[in-house]
Chain A
Amino acid sequence: MTAESSAATDLTGTVITYTVIYVPTPEFAGEAPYGLAVIETPAGERQMVRVGGVTEHPLSIGGGVVYDHEDTHGAVYRAA
Protein backbone atom coordinates (compact mmCIF):
# COMPACT_ATOMS: atom_id res chain seq x y z
CA MET A 1 0.00 0.00 0.00
CA THR A 2 1.38 3.44 -0.86
CA ALA A 3 0.43 6.90 0.29
CA GLU A 4 -1.19 7.60 -3.07
CA SER A 5 -3.41 4.55 -3.05
CA SER A 6 -5.04 4.89 0.34
CA ALA A 7 -6.60 7.32 2.73
CA ALA A 8 -3.44 8.96 4.06
CA THR A 9 -4.77 9.44 7.58
CA ASP A 10 -5.07 5.67 7.96
CA LEU A 11 -1.33 5.14 7.51
CA THR A 12 0.16 4.29 10.85
CA GLY A 13 2.70 1.87 12.17
CA THR A 14 4.68 0.66 15.16
CA VAL A 15 8.43 1.22 15.20
CA ILE A 16 10.47 -2.02 15.06
CA THR A 17 13.80 -0.19 14.83
CA TYR A 18 14.97 3.23 13.70
CA THR A 19 17.93 5.50 12.99
CA VAL A 20 18.49 9.20 12.43
CA ILE A 21 20.54 9.96 9.31
CA TYR A 22 23.09 12.76 9.76
CA VAL A 23 25.21 12.02 6.66
CA PRO A 24 22.80 11.52 3.76
CA THR A 25 23.26 10.87 0.06
CA PRO A 26 23.41 14.06 -2.08
CA GLU A 27 19.72 13.64 -2.98
CA PHE A 28 18.80 14.20 0.69
CA ALA A 29 21.49 16.80 1.42
CA GLY A 30 19.04 19.44 2.64
CA GLU A 31 16.94 17.04 4.70
CA ALA A 32 19.33 15.75 7.41
CA PRO A 33 18.90 14.97 10.18
CA TYR A 34 15.87 12.86 9.36
CA GLY A 35 14.55 9.63 10.80
CA LEU A 36 14.14 6.29 9.12
CA ALA A 37 12.06 3.61 10.75
CA VAL A 38 11.25 0.01 10.03
CA ILE A 39 7.59 -0.13 10.95
CA GLU A 40 4.89 -2.74 11.19
CA THR A 41 1.51 -1.61 9.92
CA PRO A 42 -1.77 -2.58 11.59
CA ALA A 43 -2.14 -5.15 8.78
CA GLY A 44 1.12 -6.75 9.95
CA GLU A 45 3.21 -5.61 6.98
CA ARG A 46 6.72 -4.30 7.38
CA GLN A 47 8.05 -1.28 5.52
CA MET A 48 10.70 1.37 5.83
CA VAL A 49 9.55 4.96 6.09
CA ARG A 50 11.15 8.38 6.41
CA VAL A 51 10.20 10.30 9.52
CA GLY A 52 10.38 14.09 9.83
CA GLY A 53 10.65 16.29 12.92
CA VAL A 54 12.65 13.72 14.89
CA THR A 55 14.66 16.37 16.74
CA GLU A 56 11.50 17.69 18.43
CA HIS A 57 9.63 14.38 18.47
CA PRO A 58 12.15 11.54 18.90
CA LEU A 59 11.44 8.04 17.71
CA SER A 60 11.38 5.06 20.04
CA ILE A 61 11.16 1.32 19.50
CA GLY A 62 7.57 0.26 20.16
CA GLY A 63 6.35 3.82 19.61
CA GLY A 64 4.01 4.84 16.83
CA VAL A 65 4.38 6.77 13.61
CA VAL A 66 1.71 8.31 11.43
CA TYR A 67 1.73 9.55 7.84
CA ASP A 68 2.21 13.32 7.76
CA HIS A 69 2.72 14.58 4.22
CA GLU A 70 4.26 13.97 0.84
CA ASP A 71 7.39 15.74 -0.40
CA THR A 72 9.53 15.42 -3.51
CA HIS A 73 11.07 12.18 -2.21
CA GLY A 74 7.77 10.57 -1.21
CA ALA A 75 5.86 9.98 2.01
CA VAL A 76 7.00 11.60 5.26
CA TYR A 77 5.81 10.23 8.59
CA ARG A 78 6.03 11.74 12.06
CA ALA A 79 6.29 10.21 15.52
CA ALA A 80 2.77 9.68 16.85
Chain B
Amino acid sequence: MRDVVIVGAAETRFGKSELAYRDLAAQAGRHAMDDAGIDSDEIEAFFLGTFSPGTFIHQEHAAPLIAHELGLAHVPSTRTENACASGSTAFLSAIYAIAAGAHDVVLVVGAEKMTATPVAETTSILAEAADWENESKVGLTFPGAYALIARAYMHKYGKTRDILDAVAIKNHRNAMGNPYAQFHKLIGPEDIARSAMVADPLTLYDCSPISDGAAAVVVVAADVAERFKRPGVRVLGFGQSSDSLALYKHDELTTLPAARRAGERAYRMAGLAPEDVDLAEVHDCFTIAEIVATEDLGFFGPGEGGDAVKAGVTGRDGRIPVNPSGGLKAKGHPVGATGVSQLVEAAFQLRGEAGERQVDGAEIALTHNVGGSGATCVVTILGRPA
Protein backbone atom coordinates (compact mmCIF):
# COMPACT_ATOMS: atom_id res chain seq x y z
CA MET B 1 0.00 0.00 0.00
CA ARG B 2 1.06 3.57 -0.66
CA ASP B 3 2.25 5.15 2.60
CA VAL B 4 0.01 7.84 4.04
CA VAL B 5 0.81 10.68 6.44
CA ILE B 6 -1.10 13.39 8.30
CA VAL B 7 0.29 16.86 7.55
CA GLY B 8 -2.40 19.02 9.13
CA ALA B 9 -4.53 18.66 12.26
CA ALA B 10 -6.96 20.93 14.10
CA GLU B 11 -10.11 20.90 16.18
CA THR B 12 -12.61 23.27 17.70
CA ARG B 13 -13.21 23.46 21.40
CA PHE B 14 -15.81 20.85 22.36
CA GLY B 15 -18.89 21.71 24.41
CA LYS B 16 -21.93 23.90 23.92
CA SER B 17 -21.05 26.16 21.01
CA GLU B 18 -22.72 29.26 19.64
CA LEU B 19 -21.54 28.23 16.19
CA ALA B 20 -23.80 26.49 13.69
CA TYR B 21 -22.97 22.99 12.45
CA ARG B 22 -21.53 24.21 9.15
CA ASP B 23 -19.42 26.86 10.87
CA LEU B 24 -17.96 24.40 13.37
CA ALA B 25 -17.08 21.95 10.61
CA ALA B 26 -15.63 24.67 8.40
CA GLN B 27 -13.58 26.15 11.23
CA ALA B 28 -11.91 22.81 11.95
CA GLY B 29 -11.31 22.20 8.23
CA ARG B 30 -9.81 25.66 7.65
CA HIS B 31 -7.52 25.38 10.66
CA ALA B 32 -6.29 21.96 9.54
CA MET B 33 -5.46 23.39 6.10
CA ASP B 34 -3.71 26.34 7.80
CA ASP B 35 -1.77 23.86 9.93
CA ALA B 36 -0.66 22.07 6.76
CA GLY B 37 0.12 25.40 5.12
CA ILE B 38 -2.15 24.80 2.12
CA ASP B 39 -5.09 26.44 0.40
CA SER B 40 -8.36 24.80 -0.51
CA ASP B 41 -7.33 24.58 -4.17
CA GLU B 42 -4.74 21.94 -3.23
CA ILE B 43 -7.36 19.60 -1.73
CA GLU B 44 -8.42 16.85 -4.15
CA ALA B 45 -11.18 15.12 -2.19
CA PHE B 46 -13.22 15.67 0.96
CA PHE B 47 -14.66 13.16 3.44
CA LEU B 48 -17.04 14.14 6.24
CA GLY B 49 -17.68 11.87 9.22
CA THR B 50 -20.98 12.77 10.84
CA PHE B 51 -23.66 10.72 12.58
CA SER B 52 -27.09 12.28 12.42
CA PRO B 53 -27.30 15.92 11.35
CA GLY B 54 -30.64 15.03 9.76
CA THR B 55 -32.25 14.42 13.13
CA PHE B 56 -30.10 16.80 15.22
CA ILE B 57 -30.45 19.87 12.99
CA HIS B 58 -32.61 18.82 9.97
CA GLN B 59 -29.63 18.69 7.64
CA GLU B 60 -28.75 15.70 5.50
CA HIS B 61 -26.47 15.76 2.43
CA ALA B 62 -23.89 17.36 4.68
CA ALA B 63 -20.63 16.60 2.83
CA PRO B 64 -21.13 19.02 -0.09
CA LEU B 65 -22.58 21.55 2.37
CA ILE B 66 -19.32 21.64 4.32
CA ALA B 67 -17.19 21.29 1.19
CA HIS B 68 -18.81 24.42 -0.21
CA GLU B 69 -18.23 26.32 3.04
CA LEU B 70 -14.55 25.42 2.73
CA GLY B 71 -14.22 26.47 -0.90
CA LEU B 72 -14.04 22.83 -1.95
CA ALA B 73 -17.09 22.72 -4.19
CA HIS B 74 -14.84 21.57 -7.02
CA VAL B 75 -13.82 18.26 -5.37
CA PRO B 76 -15.70 15.03 -4.70
CA SER B 77 -17.26 15.19 -1.23
CA THR B 78 -18.57 12.13 0.57
CA ARG B 79 -20.11 11.51 3.97
CA THR B 80 -19.50 8.41 6.08
CA GLU B 81 -21.89 7.31 8.82
CA ASN B 82 -20.97 4.58 11.31
CA ALA B 83 -22.57 6.05 14.44
CA CYS B 84 -19.85 7.20 16.88
CA ALA B 85 -17.17 5.75 14.57
CA SER B 86 -18.21 7.97 11.66
CA GLY B 87 -15.09 10.12 12.01
CA SER B 88 -12.54 7.35 11.81
CA THR B 89 -14.32 5.68 8.89
CA ALA B 90 -14.07 9.03 7.06
CA PHE B 91 -10.33 8.90 7.78
CA LEU B 92 -10.05 5.32 6.47
CA SER B 93 -11.96 6.36 3.34
CA ALA B 94 -9.31 9.03 2.73
CA ILE B 95 -6.57 6.44 3.16
CA TYR B 96 -8.27 4.09 0.66
CA ALA B 97 -8.60 6.93 -1.87
CA ILE B 98 -4.90 7.76 -1.55
CA ALA B 99 -3.79 4.13 -1.49
CA ALA B 100 -5.78 3.51 -4.67
CA GLY B 101 -3.91 6.35 -6.34
CA ALA B 102 -7.10 8.34 -6.97
CA HIS B 103 -5.92 11.31 -4.90
CA ASP B 104 -2.80 12.62 -3.19
CA VAL B 105 -4.23 15.27 -0.84
CA VAL B 106 -7.47 14.72 1.05
CA LEU B 107 -9.26 16.68 3.77
CA VAL B 108 -11.18 14.80 6.46
CA VAL B 109 -13.58 16.54 8.83
CA GLY B 110 -15.64 15.03 11.63
CA ALA B 111 -18.47 17.11 13.07
CA GLU B 112 -21.66 17.03 15.13
CA LYS B 113 -24.00 19.65 16.55
CA MET B 114 -25.91 18.08 19.46
CA THR B 115 -26.74 20.75 22.04
CA ALA B 116 -29.42 22.47 19.94
CA THR B 117 -31.60 19.40 20.48
CA PRO B 118 -33.56 18.69 23.72
CA VAL B 119 -31.79 16.05 25.84
CA ALA B 120 -34.68 13.54 25.75
CA GLU B 121 -34.68 13.71 21.97
CA THR B 122 -30.91 13.25 21.91
CA THR B 123 -31.31 10.07 23.97
CA SER B 124 -33.70 8.88 21.29
CA ILE B 125 -31.40 9.84 18.38
CA LEU B 126 -28.42 8.05 19.95
CA ALA B 127 -30.58 4.95 20.51
CA GLU B 128 -31.04 4.80 16.74
CA ALA B 129 -27.43 3.58 16.52
CA ALA B 130 -28.57 0.39 18.25
CA ASP B 131 -30.75 -2.36 16.72
CA TRP B 132 -34.08 -0.54 16.67
CA GLU B 133 -36.29 -3.61 16.32
CA ASN B 134 -34.61 -5.70 19.02
CA GLU B 135 -33.20 -3.10 21.42
CA SER B 136 -34.33 0.53 21.18
CA LYS B 137 -37.99 -0.40 20.63
CA VAL B 138 -37.80 -2.64 23.71
CA GLY B 139 -36.58 0.34 25.79
CA LEU B 140 -32.79 0.21 25.57
CA THR B 141 -30.89 3.48 25.65
CA PHE B 142 -27.24 4.00 24.70
CA PRO B 143 -26.13 4.30 28.37
CA GLY B 144 -28.26 1.22 28.99
CA ALA B 145 -26.24 -0.84 26.52
CA TYR B 146 -22.99 -0.02 28.30
CA ALA B 147 -24.67 -0.56 31.66
CA LEU B 148 -25.37 -4.14 30.50
CA ILE B 149 -21.64 -4.48 29.75
CA ALA B 150 -20.64 -2.88 33.07
CA ARG B 151 -22.92 -5.19 35.06
CA ALA B 152 -21.65 -8.28 33.24
CA TYR B 153 -18.02 -7.19 33.68
CA MET B 154 -18.28 -6.41 37.39
CA HIS B 155 -20.07 -9.70 38.01
CA LYS B 156 -17.64 -11.81 36.00
CA TYR B 157 -14.50 -10.34 37.57
CA GLY B 158 -15.86 -9.52 41.03
CA LYS B 159 -15.29 -5.75 40.73
CA THR B 160 -17.07 -2.81 42.30
CA ARG B 161 -17.77 0.61 40.89
CA ASP B 162 -14.52 2.13 42.18
CA ILE B 163 -12.94 1.02 38.88
CA LEU B 164 -15.49 3.18 37.03
CA ASP B 165 -14.82 6.11 39.36
CA ALA B 166 -11.10 5.84 38.63
CA VAL B 167 -11.67 6.29 34.87
CA ALA B 168 -13.88 9.36 35.32
CA ILE B 169 -11.51 10.99 37.82
CA LYS B 170 -8.42 10.36 35.64
CA ASN B 171 -10.02 11.67 32.46
CA HIS B 172 -11.32 14.82 34.14
CA ARG B 173 -7.81 15.38 35.51
CA ASN B 174 -6.28 14.89 32.03
CA ALA B 175 -8.75 17.32 30.44
CA MET B 176 -7.47 20.10 32.71
CA GLY B 177 -4.48 20.31 30.38
CA ASN B 178 -6.53 20.34 27.17
CA PRO B 179 -7.72 23.75 25.92
CA TYR B 180 -10.15 22.01 23.52
CA ALA B 181 -11.89 20.03 26.29
CA GLN B 182 -15.51 20.59 27.29
CA PHE B 183 -14.80 20.20 31.01
CA HIS B 184 -12.07 21.83 33.03
CA LYS B 185 -13.26 20.54 36.34
CA LEU B 186 -11.64 18.06 38.71
CA ILE B 187 -14.02 15.51 40.20
CA GLY B 188 -13.76 13.06 43.08
CA PRO B 189 -15.61 9.94 44.23
CA GLU B 190 -17.98 12.11 46.30
CA ASP B 191 -19.18 13.93 43.15
CA ILE B 192 -19.85 10.61 41.45
CA ALA B 193 -21.67 9.22 44.49
CA ARG B 194 -23.98 12.26 44.42
CA SER B 195 -24.67 12.15 40.69
CA ALA B 196 -27.95 10.88 39.26
CA MET B 197 -28.39 7.28 38.15
CA VAL B 198 -28.83 7.05 34.37
CA ALA B 199 -28.78 3.29 33.73
CA ASP B 200 -27.78 1.23 36.75
CA PRO B 201 -24.84 0.96 37.52
CA LEU B 202 -23.90 3.96 35.34
CA THR B 203 -24.44 7.45 36.76
CA LEU B 204 -24.22 10.80 35.02
CA TYR B 205 -20.46 10.91 35.73
CA ASP B 206 -19.96 7.61 33.95
CA CYS B 207 -21.32 9.10 30.73
CA SER B 208 -19.63 11.24 28.11
CA PRO B 209 -21.45 14.56 27.70
CA ILE B 210 -23.59 15.89 24.88
CA SER B 211 -21.31 18.14 22.82
CA ASP B 212 -20.88 20.28 19.76
CA GLY B 213 -17.57 20.17 17.98
CA ALA B 214 -15.51 19.39 14.92
CA ALA B 215 -12.04 18.08 14.13
CA ALA B 216 -10.07 17.81 10.90
CA VAL B 217 -6.94 16.28 9.41
CA VAL B 218 -5.17 16.76 6.09
CA VAL B 219 -4.13 13.33 4.83
CA VAL B 220 -1.61 12.98 2.00
CA ALA B 221 0.43 10.39 0.15
CA ALA B 222 3.86 10.10 1.77
CA ASP B 223 5.47 10.48 -1.67
CA VAL B 224 4.15 14.06 -1.97
CA ALA B 225 4.51 14.99 1.71
CA GLU B 226 7.73 16.94 1.28
CA ARG B 227 5.92 19.94 -0.17
CA PHE B 228 4.01 20.59 3.08
CA LYS B 229 5.40 22.66 5.90
CA ARG B 230 4.50 20.13 8.59
CA PRO B 231 6.38 16.86 9.09
CA GLY B 232 4.03 14.00 8.34
CA VAL B 233 2.65 11.91 11.17
CA ARG B 234 2.88 8.39 9.76
CA VAL B 235 -0.09 6.03 9.47
CA LEU B 236 1.53 2.72 10.45
CA GLY B 237 -1.51 0.50 10.61
CA PHE B 238 -5.26 0.40 10.81
CA GLY B 239 -8.06 -2.10 11.22
CA GLN B 240 -11.82 -2.00 11.09
CA SER B 241 -14.28 -4.70 12.04
CA SER B 242 -18.01 -5.10 12.47
CA ASP B 243 -20.44 -6.96 14.69
CA SER B 244 -24.14 -7.30 15.36
CA LEU B 245 -25.80 -3.98 16.20
CA ALA B 246 -27.64 -5.79 18.98
CA LEU B 247 -25.37 -6.17 21.99
CA TYR B 248 -27.06 -9.36 23.18
CA LYS B 249 -26.03 -11.11 19.95
CA HIS B 250 -22.31 -10.54 20.61
CA ASP B 251 -20.23 -13.61 21.40
CA GLU B 252 -19.17 -12.04 24.69
CA LEU B 253 -20.56 -9.19 26.77
CA THR B 254 -17.44 -8.20 28.72
CA THR B 255 -15.42 -7.31 25.63
CA LEU B 256 -16.10 -5.81 22.19
CA PRO B 257 -15.09 -8.63 19.83
CA ALA B 258 -14.94 -6.25 16.83
CA ALA B 259 -12.50 -3.98 18.69
CA ARG B 260 -10.23 -6.94 19.36
CA ARG B 261 -10.28 -7.86 15.67
CA ALA B 262 -9.68 -4.27 14.55
CA GLY B 263 -6.78 -3.99 16.98
CA GLU B 264 -5.22 -7.25 15.84
CA ARG B 265 -5.35 -6.09 12.21
CA ALA B 266 -3.82 -2.72 13.05
CA TYR B 267 -0.99 -4.28 15.08
CA ARG B 268 -0.27 -6.82 12.33
CA MET B 269 -0.19 -4.14 9.63
CA ALA B 270 2.09 -1.93 11.73
CA GLY B 271 4.28 -4.85 12.78
CA LEU B 272 3.87 -3.71 16.36
CA ALA B 273 2.60 -5.15 19.64
CA PRO B 274 0.56 -3.57 22.47
CA GLU B 275 3.73 -2.97 24.51
CA ASP B 276 5.12 -0.75 21.72
CA VAL B 277 2.32 1.81 22.13
CA ASP B 278 3.28 5.00 23.99
CA LEU B 279 -0.21 6.43 24.36
CA ALA B 280 -3.77 5.55 23.38
CA GLU B 281 -6.87 7.61 22.75
CA VAL B 282 -9.72 5.17 23.32
CA HIS B 283 -13.49 5.39 23.01
CA ASP B 284 -14.63 6.00 26.59
CA CYS B 285 -18.21 6.95 25.76
CA PHE B 286 -18.85 5.44 29.20
CA THR B 287 -16.30 4.70 31.91
CA ILE B 288 -16.65 0.94 31.52
CA ALA B 289 -15.87 1.31 27.80
CA GLU B 290 -12.33 2.55 28.54
CA ILE B 291 -11.64 -0.44 30.78
CA VAL B 292 -12.91 -2.89 28.18
CA ALA B 293 -10.98 -1.06 25.43
CA THR B 294 -7.65 -1.37 27.23
CA GLU B 295 -8.22 -5.12 27.53
CA ASP B 296 -9.41 -5.52 23.92
CA LEU B 297 -6.27 -3.69 22.75
CA GLY B 298 -4.02 -6.05 24.71
CA PHE B 299 -2.66 -3.52 27.21
CA PHE B 300 -4.06 -5.64 30.04
CA GLY B 301 -5.49 -9.11 30.46
CA PRO B 302 -9.24 -9.73 30.79
CA GLY B 303 -10.51 -8.33 34.09
CA GLU B 304 -7.31 -6.36 34.77
CA GLY B 305 -8.10 -3.05 33.06
CA GLY B 306 -10.01 -1.52 35.96
CA ASP B 307 -7.33 -2.25 38.54
CA ALA B 308 -4.73 -0.78 36.15
CA VAL B 309 -6.59 2.55 36.10
CA LYS B 310 -6.79 2.52 39.90
CA ALA B 311 -3.05 1.83 40.11
CA GLY B 312 -2.24 4.79 37.83
CA VAL B 313 -0.83 2.62 35.03
CA THR B 314 -2.94 4.54 32.47
CA GLY B 315 -2.23 7.99 33.91
CA ARG B 316 -0.23 10.49 31.87
CA ASP B 317 2.98 9.41 33.59
CA GLY B 318 2.02 5.75 33.75
CA ARG B 319 3.28 2.84 31.68
CA ILE B 320 0.56 3.27 29.03
CA PRO B 321 -1.16 6.68 29.17
CA VAL B 322 -4.79 6.33 28.08
CA ASN B 323 -6.82 9.33 26.98
CA PRO B 324 -4.32 12.05 27.84
CA SER B 325 -6.76 14.42 26.06
CA GLY B 326 -9.43 13.75 28.69
CA GLY B 327 -11.18 11.26 26.42
CA LEU B 328 -14.80 11.39 25.39
CA LYS B 329 -15.67 11.56 29.07
CA ALA B 330 -14.12 14.97 29.75
CA LYS B 331 -12.97 16.32 26.39
CA GLY B 332 -16.51 15.81 25.09
CA HIS B 333 -18.18 13.60 22.49
CA PRO B 334 -19.62 15.36 19.45
CA VAL B 335 -20.33 11.99 17.89
CA GLY B 336 -19.09 12.43 14.30
CA ALA B 337 -16.09 14.50 15.41
CA THR B 338 -14.73 12.03 17.95
CA GLY B 339 -12.79 9.65 15.71
CA VAL B 340 -11.06 12.53 13.94
CA SER B 341 -10.41 14.30 17.24
CA GLN B 342 -8.59 11.20 18.49
CA LEU B 343 -6.33 11.39 15.42
CA VAL B 344 -5.76 15.11 16.01
CA GLU B 345 -4.71 14.46 19.60
CA ALA B 346 -2.43 11.62 18.45
CA ALA B 347 -0.86 13.96 15.86
CA PHE B 348 -0.30 16.70 18.45
CA GLN B 349 1.30 14.17 20.80
CA LEU B 350 3.55 12.68 18.12
CA ARG B 351 4.65 16.15 17.00
CA GLY B 352 5.46 17.01 20.62
CA GLU B 353 2.89 19.83 20.63
CA ALA B 354 0.45 18.62 23.26
CA GLY B 355 1.49 21.21 25.84
CA GLU B 356 0.71 20.36 29.46
CA ARG B 357 -0.67 16.97 28.50
CA GLN B 358 2.34 15.93 26.40
CA VAL B 359 3.38 12.31 26.92
CA ASP B 360 7.17 12.48 27.07
CA GLY B 361 8.95 10.84 24.16
CA ALA B 362 5.77 9.67 22.43
CA GLU B 363 6.68 7.76 19.27
CA ILE B 364 3.70 5.46 18.73
CA ALA B 365 0.08 6.44 19.35
CA LEU B 366 -3.04 4.32 18.97
CA THR B 367 -6.64 5.43 18.44
CA HIS B 368 -9.70 3.26 19.13
CA ASN B 369 -13.10 4.47 17.92
CA VAL B 370 -16.36 2.57 18.43
CA GLY B 371 -19.79 2.89 16.84
CA GLY B 372 -22.82 1.91 18.92
CA SER B 373 -22.11 -0.85 21.40
CA GLY B 374 -19.33 -2.26 19.23
CA ALA B 375 -20.92 -2.92 15.83
CA THR B 376 -18.24 -0.74 14.19
CA CYS B 377 -14.73 -0.62 15.61
CA VAL B 378 -11.73 1.16 14.11
CA VAL B 379 -8.18 1.11 15.45
CA THR B 380 -5.34 3.12 13.95
CA ILE B 381 -1.68 3.21 14.86
CA LEU B 382 0.32 6.36 14.12
CA GLY B 383 4.05 7.04 14.29
CA ARG B 384 6.11 10.12 15.02
CA PRO B 385 7.25 12.02 11.91
CA ALA B 386 10.38 10.42 10.46
Interface residue from A16, A20, A29, A49 paired with B120 (Cβ < 8 Å): A29
Inter-subunit contact A47/B199 (CB<8 Å):
no
Which residues from chain B contact A8 at a C-beta distance below 8 Å? none
Inter-subunit contact B151/A17 (CB<8 Å):
yes
Q: How far is the CA of A29 from the CA of B148 in the complex (A)?
A: 20
Which residues from chain B contact A48 at a C-beta distance below 8 Å? 134-135, 138, 140, 246-248
The residue on B at minimum CB distance from A27 is B124
Q: Report the tally of A-B residue pairs with Cβ distances under 8 A.
A: 89
With contacts A21-B144, A61-B151 known, is A36 near B123, CB below 8 A? no
Taking the complex as formed, is A80 at the interface, i.e. its CB lies under 8 A from any CB of chain B? no
Per-residue CB contact flags for chain B residues 216-256 toward chain A (1 = under 8 Å, else 0) read 00000000000000000000000000000011110001000
Which residues from chain A contact B196 at a C-beta distance below 8 Å? 22-23
Taking the complex as formed, is A44 at the interface, i.e. its CB lies under 8 A from any CB of chain B? no
Inter-subunit contact A19/B199 (CB<8 Å):
yes
Q: How far is the CA of A80 from the CA of B94 in the complex (A)?
A: 53
Inter-subunit contact B199/A21 (CB<8 Å):
yes
Taking the complex as formed, is B100 at the interface, i.e. its CB lies under 8 A from any CB of chain A? no
Q: Which of A6-47 contact B (CB under 8 A)?
A: 16-29, 31, 33-34, 36, 38, 46-47
The residue on B at minimum CB distance from A61 is B155
Inter-subunit contact A16/B253 (CB<8 Å):
yes
Which residues from chain B contact A33 at a C-beta distance below 8 Å? 200
Interface residue from B138, B149, B198, B201 paired with A36 (Cβ < 8 Å): B138
Q: How far is the CA of A74 from the CA of B249 in the complex (A)?
A: 20
Per-residue CB contact flags for chain A residues 48-73 toward chain B (1 = under 8 Å, else 0) read 11100000000001000000000001
Taking the complex as formed, is B167 at the interface, i.e. its CB lies under 8 A from any CB of chain A? no
Least distance between A78 CB and chain B CB atoms (Å): 15
Chain A residues in contact with chain B, CB under 8 A? 16-29, 31, 33-34, 36, 38, 46-50, 61, 73-74
Chain B residues in contact with chain A, CB under 8 A? 120-121, 123-124, 127, 134-141, 143-144, 147-149, 151-152, 155, 196-202, 246-249, 253
The 5 nearest A-B residue pairs measured at CB: A19-B147, A17-B152, A20-B200, A25-B124, A38-B248
The contact sample of 30 A-B pairs, CB cut-off 8 A, is: A17-B155, A17-B253, A18-B151, A19-B199, A19-B202, A20-B200, A21-B140, A21-B144, A22-B197, A22-B198, A22-B199, A22-B200, A23-B143, A24-B123, A24-B141, A25-B120, A25-B123, A25-B124, A25-B127, A26-B121, A26-B123, A36-B144, A36-B148, A38-B247, A38-B248, A38-B253, A47-B134, A48-B135, A48-B246, A61-B151
